[in-house]
Every structure is written in structure tokens, then in C-alpha cells.
Structure 1
Amino acid sequence: MAVKFSDNKYKWAIALALSTIASFCNAQESRYSFEKGMMGSPFKLVFYAKNDSIANVAAQAAFKRIEKLNELLSDYRDGSEINLLSAQSGSGKWVQVSDELFNILAISQDISQKTDGAFDATLGPVVQMWRHATRKGIFPADSAIRDAMSRTGYKKLKLDAKRKKVLLTQKGMRLDIGGLGKGFAAEEAVKVLRSFDIKSIMMDAGGKIVLTNPPPGTKGWNITISNGSDSLKTMPLSHVALATSGPTYRYMEYNGIRYSHIVDPKTGIGLLFHVRTTVISPDGTVADALATAFSVAGIEKSKQMITQFPESRVWLVEKQEEQVAEWNTLE
């Protein structure tokens, strides 16, 4: 005799079966954590995988991808692709570059245009000058700042999207993509992990974080964000990227004044009033770059700029006449 189910009972039975299968699949995944020093910062991977073998192979593949990017994009390495490109500045040559270098420069230029130059990948000469000054404990002379600044400007960087070629129009230019490189590396590492069918991932590249699916059975990855002093906020996040920037650890102090490692592209001098910036965006490279751009622009200008990035949120803290001001759109 045939047994008949009502529509509701049938749907309930299917839902129960699917729930059981999902629970079983989640139960098969364990939490794994890997950490390695790269690009001058700790890179931490946390993800859920089916077994130790997959987790270890996937983590090593992700770290290998980051190291490859560092070889191409690091301005600290004499033979890196980005430094070889900078060496041909002012030659009039359009230089063929890798997909990775072209893509990160294209993102950089887009953000430079939308933020009126508050982010600028051509600041290499100024960054180099400040690195030297910090090591020596001296403040650069006005003439040195003017000379370095004369060789910067994002409009001097030209891109040919069809041929993946780059032209640096002025001699002595030097590219520095440190302001978005870690976010870019984090996104690329996540792509590698996804190729191993790993779905729940947190990639923390020295404070530049990319998140995919929540951990099994949760609403999101619990991320704690600080305003740089005493205010903390913990948020369950997934499918977003987050970047935080501030002079807590990297700065130069001269004659009692603290200068941030973030340089204002319009003055060539480290920021004086910036405390902390946190940006949440759909993409890690964009979040990384905007954390710098909003830090440079400050609260009032950033309120105008963020209209260019409607999917991004920001928590910006700065000093204004010895008072701390905050602008927070994270909620």
C-alpha cells in the first residue's frame, strides 16, 4: 500500500533531511590557524577545513602566493618588478607588467581619482626620504621635501588597460603600493584557499582583514575594533574586508612632535592629528587604501569622499584643537 505525505509533511521531511546533512557537513570541518611573518607584519590565517592534510596544503599554498606577490610588489627588494618599473621612469617607455602589478596599480589610480589624490602610489620618493630621516633621527630639510615631492603625483602614472602597460612620465619617480599591498595580498590568499573548497576564512594581513563565510553555526567572525584609546566595538562580520590604520606603532618623534608614518601627498609630511581609521568595505584592497585616504583627508573631507564608495563604512578619529573628534558610520 502506498503511503502519501501531505505537502506540508513532505516539505518538513526535506527540510529536516537538508538540516541533518548540513549539520553533518559542518561537523566534518575543524578550525585551523596558521601564522607567518610576511611583508614586515604577522599574517594570520584562520579557516575551517575537512582534515589536517587539506588545511596544511592550503595554508602553505596561500603563504606561497603572498611571498610571490611580495617578490613582485615590494619596494624594499631591489629586483622586484615594481622597482624595475620605477627605474624606467622618465624614459618615455611603456613597460609591460604582470597582471598582479597592473591590477593593483589600476585599483590605486581609481582610488586616487575618487579621493582627489589623498591616496597616491607615486609617493615613493617621499616615503624613502622619511625612512632615511627616521633611521637617522633627523627632520628632512625643506629642500629635500620639495625635491621628493616634485617627483610624485598620481597623474604622472599612466596605464594602458588593453596592453597591460605602464608609463611613468617623469624621471626619478618611485612607486610604493604599501598603502594597499597587504589588503591585496589578503584577497589573493583567500582566492587560493577557496580553490581548496574552503569556505569559512579569516585572513589577517597585519591588521588588513578579509572575511568570507561565518564559522559554522555562528552569525559571523567576532572582530573587535578600537578607536585608538578606550572605546572598543565587537562586531560579527562576514563577507567583508576591514582595514585599520593609525600611528600607534609606526611614527617619527622630533622635537616633541609625533609624525605619523602616513604621509600627506599634498605636503610630503607625516600626519599630525590622525588617531585611528577603520574602514569596512566589500574588498580588502579597497578597504586598505581607503583607510589611508580617509586618514589623510580627515573627517570633513572624508564625509564627501565616502559618497564615491557607497558600500564602505568608516570609523575615523582625529584630534581637532586638542579635542578628539570621531565620525562613525559602522553601525
Structure 2
Amino acid sequence: MFSERIVKCVFIWGLSAVTSFTYAQESRYSFEQGMMGSPFKLVFYAKNDSVANIAAQSAFKRIEKLNELLSDYRDGSEINMLSAQSGSGKWVPVSDDLFNILAISQDISVKTDGAFDATLGPVVQMWRHATRKGIFPKESEIKEAMAKTGYTKMKLDPKSKKVFLSQKGMRLDIGGLGKGFAAEEAVKVLQTFGIKSIMMDAGGKIVLTSPPPGTEGWNITISNGSDSLKTMALSNVALATSGPTYRFMEYNGTRYSHIVDPKTGIGLLFHVRTTVISLDGTVADALATAFSVAGIAKSKKIIARFPDSKVWLVERQDERVAEWNTLE
């Protein structure tokens, strides 16, 4: 879901060994704009102000276009119009952007045994309403919403770029990977301007390209959700995090994460924080959710299907906090 609220970024970013903002006739530029309910921040190196301004404007326009297509908050968005045709028996033609993100979603759903699922829209809608009202959904409401979900109920035809939603009442929600996808697309736009060193922070979903001039990488500090920090000089990778720090529902003394388990329809209870590093921002974003849902034990098996990804997963087990970290 593309939330309309502003949330805090999880990553603390900086530059390794930077003492000046200008190297090899390139200067450092920073732009920030509120989009998709989060602060989107661009940092990159360009030859001059003119190139930097045009490039940044073009990148933000690309993100806004994607939001128009993919936001389930907008009644007229393409993804909502597709959902409205669920159960019609029709294969619906969609744009390349919508088809591509749904194809990535389906691939990850299969590889994570359903721990990630873009068809959870009915459940997400139910929990949004419950959170606003402060009322825990009835078991019958959860069951009814769950009956309209399931990634196997969505079929894709790559040749015709058509989508088939088999059951009436389905509602797609690609919030679990949408910001990572938008970050990747924004970076592609900047690269068409000859810009090579880029840090795109889409509300904590970060895509990094080549290191800033004169450095070994973008200096990223990652938190485990409590008191442990890890700083890494990174380049040409993407990072994403998930956790209930800012978005959750508390009911009768129990805190439920905004991340819903596709198998139960209920927010996670034991998840603390997940950070994923992958080669692609969309994949990193989706895996941050999938590993959070799967938990440490299952994620250790799932990660074998994603050899280019690393994870730092923290969860509560009984009275203790357990961690699994492959970022080393």
C-alpha cells in the first residue's frame, strides 16, 4: 500500500571519506520531495546545476506517474481499475509498469511460498479501517477478507501483458514492493542524463549506484531496531527495511505489526526488524516483507532461492530477541 502518511526513514546515510562536495568537475546535489506518503530523497553527482535540476525533476515526475498507476489509495488508478474487474472472467490488458511489478511480485510469492502476496488488498483494507477505529476485526471479517486473497488466483500472460483475477472482490496492493520499484525507476531516469553516482532513498527503500567520486562507497548505517548498529560502505546495491516501529495497531495490550501474515490475515506479533540487501530495489523491498513474515527458521531456507541477497532479521522468540545476520 502507498500510505498517505509521512514515515521516518530507517537508514542513516552519508559519504565515506568525503571532505569536499566537488570532485572531477562534478558537484553533489540533494533533492527531497514528499511522495507515496514518504520523503523521497535524491543525492547524486552531476556536472552542473542545469543538468541536476532537470534530472531531478524528471526522476520525481517518473515517480508521480507510477503513483498514479499503482496507488491503491487512488480510485482511478490503473491497479484499482484492474482489481474492479476481478471475477469478471476477463483477461485485462495493463501497462508495462503494472505488468512488470505484478510479475516480480508473483515470482517472489512463488519463491517465498506465499510469504509475500500482492493480493492481500482486502485484508489490508480491513486492517486500515480497524486501526482508524481502534477496533480489532471480528473473526468472521478476517475470514471473509482472506477468502478474497491468494496469489494463485492471479494469472499473468507475458506475451499479451494481460492479467486475470479469478475471484470477485479481489484487491491488489503492491505497497510491499512499490517504493523499491519507484526508486529503481527514478535511478534509471537519472542515468539517462549521464549521472553515475546516485543514492535514491524512497522512504527507507534505498538504491545505490557507483560510489561518490573519491570514495569507496555510500556509507550506510543500519539499525537492528534496538541498540545495535552496523555501518557499511556500499555501492551498486539496494537496501530495504521493515519493522513495526512507526506503524502498528495496539489492542488489549498486544502490538500488531502493519505487516500482515498472508496465511492468517493478522498483523505479525514477533517481528522486530528486517533489513535486506539485494542487487535490485524492488526485490529488496519485497524480501524485507517476505522474510519478516517467514521468520528466521523459514527464511534460512527461502534465502537459498535468492543467492544475490543478504538479510539481517530480528524477532522476538518467547522472552528473548533472536537475530540472524548474513550481511557480513
TM bucket normalised to smaller: over 0.9
2:263 partner amino acid: K
Structure 2 match to 1:197: 194
Structure 2 match to 1:8: none
2:39 partner amino acid: P
Q: Secondary structure at the match of 1:179?
A: helix
> 5 Å matches for 1:291-310?
291-310=288-307
Sequence identity percentage:
86
Structure 1 match to 2:118: 121
Match of residue 206, structure 1, among 178, 203, 219: 203
- 1:152 aligned onto 2:149: yes
Structure 1 match to 2:179: 182
Rounded to whole Å, the distance in 1 between the matches of 2:324 and 2:297 is: 9
Structure with higher Rg: it is: 1
Match of residue 236, structure 2, among 218, 236, 239: 239
Structure 1 match to 2:324: 327
Rounded to whole Å, the distance in 1 between the matches of 2:231 and 2:54 is: 32
- 1:142 aligned onto 2:139: yes
Structure 2 match to 1:33: 30
Rounded to whole Å, the distance in 2 between the matches of 1:189 and 1:240 is: 15
Structure 2 match to 1:278: 275
1:83 partner amino acid: N
Listed one character per residue, the Cα deviations across residues 262-302 of structure 1 (whole Å, up to 9, x for unaligned) are: 00000000000000000000000000000000000000000
The ranges of structure 1 where at least 4 consecutive aligned residues each deviate by more than 3 angstroms after the TM superposition are none
Structure 1 match to 2:264: 267
Structure 1 match to 2:12: none
Q: Secondary structure at the match of 1:65?
A: helix
Listed one character per residue, the Cα deviations across residues 62-112 of structure 1 (whole Å, up to 9, x for unaligned) are: 000000000000000000000000000000000000000000000000000
Structure 1 match to 2:129: 132
2:71 partner amino acid: S
Rounded to whole Å, the distance in 2 between the matches of 1:85 and 1:216 is: 44
Q: Which residues of structure 2 form unaligned runs of 5+?
A: 1-21
Structure 1 match to 2:16: none
Listed one character per residue, the Cα deviations across residues 214-271 of structure 1 (whole Å, up to 9, x for unaligned) are: 0000000000000000000110000000001000000000011100000000000000
Rounded to whole Å, the distance in 2 between the matches of 1:174 and 1:39 is: 19
Structure 1 match to 2:49: 52
> 5 Å matches for 1:47-86?
47-86=44-83
Rounded to whole Å, the distance in 2 between the matches of 1:34 and 1:273 is: 36
Structure 2 match to 1:173: 170
Rounded to whole Å, the distance in 2 between the matches of 1:186 and 1:126 is: 26
Rounded to whole Å, the distance in 2 between the matches of 1:56 and 1:253 is: 43
> How many positions carry a matched residue from both structures?
307
- 1:216 aligned onto 2:213: yes
Rounded to whole Å, the distance in 2 between the matches of 1:238 and 1:72 is: 30
Rounded to whole Å, the distance in 1 between the matches of 2:129 and 2:203 is: 23
Rounded to whole Å, the distance in 2 between the matches of 1:26 and 1:168 is: 52
Rounded to whole Å, the distance in 1 between the matches of 2:241 and 2:169 is: 31
Rounded to whole Å, the distance in 2 between the matches of 1:298 and 1:143 is: 27
Rounded to whole Å, the distance in 2 between the matches of 1:280 and 1:142 is: 37
| Alpha-carbon distance, 1:160 to partner | 0.3
Note the aligned Cα RMSD (angstroms): 0.7
Rounded to whole Å, the distance in 1 between the matches of 2:173 and 2:310 is: 25
Structure 1 match to 2:308: 311
Rounded to whole Å, the distance in 2 between the matches of 1:38 and 1:258 is: 28
| Highest RCO, 1 vs 2 (Cα 8 Å, sep ≥ 6) | 2
Q: TM-score, normalised by structure 2?
A: 0.93
Q: Secondary structure at the match of 1:316?
A: strand
Rounded to whole Å, the distance in 1 between the matches of 2:234 and 2:117 is: 29
Which structure dedicates a bigger proportion of its chain to helix? 1
Q: Secondary structure at the match of 2:143?
A: helix
Rounded to whole Å, the distance in 1 between the matches of 2:254 and 2:28 is: 45
2:125 partner amino acid: Q
1:98 partner amino acid: S
1:237 partner amino acid: L
Q: Secondary structure at the match of 1:48?
A: strand
Structure 1 match to 2:224: 227
Structure 1 match to 2:104: 107
| Alpha-carbon distance, 1:26 to partner | 3.9
2:189 partner amino acid: V
| Alpha-carbon distance, 1:27 to partner | 2.2
| Alpha-carbon distance, 1:322 to partner | 1.6
Structure 1 match to 2:250: 253
